């Protein structure tokens, strides 16, 4: 069980460029979190025109019927072309509701816990929420990497985007 939650807080998500890796299975996305982070950070590090916009790492979901979810980092810069399994998506400024959980050890997270928390939080906000939501892990660490066998505490936030 995930909690206790702090929130909801209204937040404004700015325009951002997201470098992401696509997953077609929620369990694979969660278990692949450390390796996806390393892959994305390696791509950023090897391209001199890219840098991290912040120390956050995101897991995006697109509704119950969506066939995929994304791991991603907000970046500054531009790539002329990405290679599989990576993509770039430019997000638009929008409002969201945020619920935060402090000092969470990511290795204890289960798909059942995350999706159960999503359903519980979504029920609190009613029909004002769109289908897209994300989990924000922050900060990863000062170097921008997550150690898979570390007990490094994370702050985890659920962000639910408002209907436009």
Domain ranges of the chain: 6-162
| Gap between the Cα atoms of 89 and 18, Å rounded | 5
CB count, 10 Å around CB of 81? 5
Position 153 scores a pLDDT of: 58
Q: Give the Cα separation of 149 and 146 in Å (integer).
A: 9
Q: What is the pLDDT along the chain (164 residues), one digit of tens a residue?
A: 687 889 899 999 999 999 999 999 888 888 888 888 899 999 999 999 999 999 999 999 998 888 899 999 999 998 888 888 899 999 989 999 999 987 666 667 788 888 888 988 888 877 788 899 999 988 765 444 444 444 455 688 999 998 86
Residue 83: the pLDDT is 81
Contact 115, 27 (CB under 8 A): no
Residue 115 confidence (pLDDT): 86
Domain 6-162 has CATH 3.20.80.10: yes
């Amino acid at each position: 069980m995930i909690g206790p939650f702090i929130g909801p807080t209204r937040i404004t998500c700015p325009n951002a460029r997201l470098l992401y890796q696509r997953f077609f299975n929620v369990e694979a996305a969660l278990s692949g979190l450390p390796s996806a982070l390393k892959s994305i950070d390696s791509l950023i590090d090897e391209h001199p025109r890219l840098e991290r916009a912040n120390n956050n790492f995101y897991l995006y979901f697109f509704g119950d019927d969506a066939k995929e979810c994304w791991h991603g980092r907000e970046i500054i810069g531009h790539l002329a072309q990405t290679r599989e399994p990576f993509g770039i998506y430019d997000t638009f400024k929008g409002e969201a509701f945020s619920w935060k959980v402090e000092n969470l050890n990511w290795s204890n997270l289960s798909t059942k816990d995350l999706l159960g928390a999503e359903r519980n939080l979504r029920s609190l906000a009613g029909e004002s929420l769109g289908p897209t939501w994300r989990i924000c892990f922050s900060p990863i660490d000062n170097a921008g990497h997550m150690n898979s066998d570390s007990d490094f505490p994370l702050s985890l936030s659920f962000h639910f985007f408002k209907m436009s």
